[in-house]
Structure 1
Amino acid sequence: MPPSRARATTALALLLLATTACTDGEHESTPASRSPSVSEQLRLPLDAYASTVAETHLVEDAQDLLMRRCMNGLDMEWKTLPPVDPQDAKPPNLRRYGADEAAAVRYGYHPSPDPPSVVRRNRAWDERDALPAEVQRAAYGPSGKGGCLKTAQHQLAGDTAPPDDHAFNQLTGTALETSRRTPEVRNALRSWHTCMAKAGYDYRDPYAAAGSERWETAEITPAERATARADVTCQKSTQLVKVWAAAETHVQHRLIQQNTDRLHEAKARKDRWLAAARRVLRREGRTSHQHHLSDQ
């Protein structure tokens, strides 16, 4: 089987699976006609230790070129993945503390639709899932980790293990839950609850609002959109995102100090793979996006 396709990692996805506001991949780009929302601009200290969507795509692109060479050597065709436009990459902390203002106005709590470049890449992954068994075995081996994939990974980074976000995932989840229990965030959440109650809504917190079973519908309902708009209005009036981000930044700095060696090793491994991927793409005389053009 093919390896897992790239997914942006968010603590919201890890810890709050009931929240339907969370997407499992990229999201629509920010139109040039409006300013990015607060959560779109949100950056936290631990972000430095995780692979971004763009970085994951870069490694995939270089690996794909090496896999194509290997597959061609076996007289088999290998179509490389189409690129994702840089502006279509999902911000790392979107909806970390609840609904995002820009998305809520248009889509309520439903995931915003993937932009065309993301759709194309996902479709290409789906096509790989449907490759003939003979091609699958050549590409991935019986285990899903062998074949030309293993060859390409060794050519790319030698004995360096692939990037692993386990440390980041664990610590960012801890940071979110720890910051949620701080006095300042608890106060902000109470203010948010009061604001929502005045608007006629009774939800414990933004996650409960976004994760309501009422929104498990094929289409966005007027009630959902109205609730989401009230939600983000209350987030703004209580400065919930600003307060929570400040509290979590403090927590994350402490966790980084407590886990320096573990995080530095994870980052060093990621950086080695990125450097190797850039060398492969430079050697081919193409950027991470240009090398797809001959495959269209």
Structure 2
Amino acid sequence: MSPSRARATTALALLLLATTACTAAEHESTPAPHGPSVIRQAKQLRLPLDAYASTVAETHAMEDAEDILMRRCMADLGMEWKPLPRVDVRDVEPPNFRRYGAEEVEVDRYGYHPSPDPPSVTRRNQAWDEREALPAEVQRAAYGRSGEGGCRKTAQRELVGDTAPPDYQAFNRLTGKALETSRRAPEVRDAIRKWRTCMTKAGFDYPDPLAAAGNERWQTDEPTPAERTTARADMTCQQSTGVVKVWSAAETRIQRRLIEENADPLHEAKARKDRWLAASRRVLNRDDG
């Protein structure tokens, strides 16, 4: 069985978005916000724990290097191995873009739904789908009967020797804890209270931005008019109350404390990740050269 395709490791924190929420009836479109964009703040958001996990781009680099080495191994077995298409660096979503519920640039068009994947991301996802449909003989040669062997195991050994793959357990645990802890910080509660007052004036009843984004009503194939109206009001209220700025500052402080308290496992995880990434970049540089 093939390995799972790359996903941002901060996705675990997004599970916390699944909260219950209430909405009011659809209202007139809220005026567009002025000043620094909430979306720009979300795109630029960097948190201290980010250093201890791989970005999507770094995960792609490790997969691409592994592909190069697997291709040689598979060729020795008389089988073709097609490398995954590269993703354009401009198409990689920032690591914390959706962390506080600020999800979409074009809220008028997509509401809380994600915009369509860029072409290079679509091509890579399609290539993963094609791999999962490979004949059983090719699957066994690539991944072994257990899914942990075959040419993939050979490629990993050539890449980093006996170094185990990156382990993000400590990161996942701490990033989720930091998000929930920061949510209860006094200054964040105050900002969320102001956001809720703003939303109430616009005719909506949600406890916080995560509840607005995670409303089950938005689990539709296409965004509805009510969803787009809610998302626009959400963005406007986030802008006027500074939720992202306040929340990220609180979480930054909390993450730094958690890093100090968990220095040993985080240091080990980062060292392992850095070794894999450095080895992957050497392989990619040789191949590109």
Structure 1 and Structure 2 fold alike (TM over 0.5): yes
Secondary structure in 2 aligned to 1:37? helix
Distance in 1 between residues matched to 2:83 and 2:104, nearest whole Å: 36
Structure 1 CA distance, aligned partners of 2:16 and 2:238?
Answer: 20
Contact kept, 8 Å, 1:157 with 1:276, in 2: the verdict is: yes
TM-superposed deviation, 1:99: 2.3
Matched, 1:223 2:226: yes
Report the CA distance between 1:219 and its aligned residue: 1.5
- The separation in 2 between residues aligned to 1:184 and 1:156, in whole angstroms, is 47
For residues 86 and 255 of structure 1, the distance between their equivalents in structure 2, rounded to whole angstroms, comes to: 31
- From 227, 230, 250, the equivalent of 1:247 is 250
Match of 2:105, SS state, is helix
Counterpart Cα distance in 2 of 1:49 and 1:173: 14
Q: Does the C-alpha gap of structure 1 residues 16 and 100 become closer, same or farther in structure 2, counting only changes over 3 Å? A: closer
RMSD: 1.6
> Which of 46, 70, 73 in structure 2 is aligned with 1:67?
70
2:53 aligned with 1:50? yes
Q: Which runs of 5+ in 2 are unaligned?
A: 21-35
Higher relative contact order (CA 8 A, sep 6+): 2
Q: Any residues of structure 2 matched to 1:81-120 within 5 Å, and which?
A: 81-100=84-103, 102-120=105-123
Calculate percent identity across the aligned residue pairs: 72
Report deviation, 1:18: 5.7
Distance 1:98 1:13 in 2: 9
CA distance in 2 between counterparts of 1:42 and 1:277 reads 26
Residues 1:17 and 1:121: Cα distance change in structure 2 (over 3 Å): farther
Alignment of 1:1-296 (within 5 A): 1-10=1-10, 11-17=12-18, 37-100=40-103, 102-284=105-287, 286=288
TM value normalised by structure 2: 0.90
CA contact (8 A) 1:193 1:203 kept: yes
Supply the distance in 2 between the matched residues of 1:105 and 1:178 (Cα, whole angstroms): 32
Aligned counterparts of 2:44 and 2:118: Cα–Cα separation in 1: 19
- 2:75 and 2:19 mapped to 1: Cα distance? 44
Give the superposition deviation at 1:101.
5.4
Q: Name the SS for the 1:247 alignment partner.
A: helix
The separation in 1 between residues aligned to 2:19 and 2:283, in whole angstroms, is 41
TM-score, length-normalised on structure 1? 0.88
Query: Aligned partners of 1:17 and 1:140: how far apart in 2?
Result: 35
| Structure 2 residue identity aligned to 1:94 | F
CA deviations on 1:147-203 (whole Å, 9 max, x unpaired) are 001100101110001112211111110000001111111111111111000000011
Structure 1: gaps spanning 5 or more residues: 20-33, 288-296
Q: Residue 72 of structure 2 aligns to a residue in which SS?
A: helix
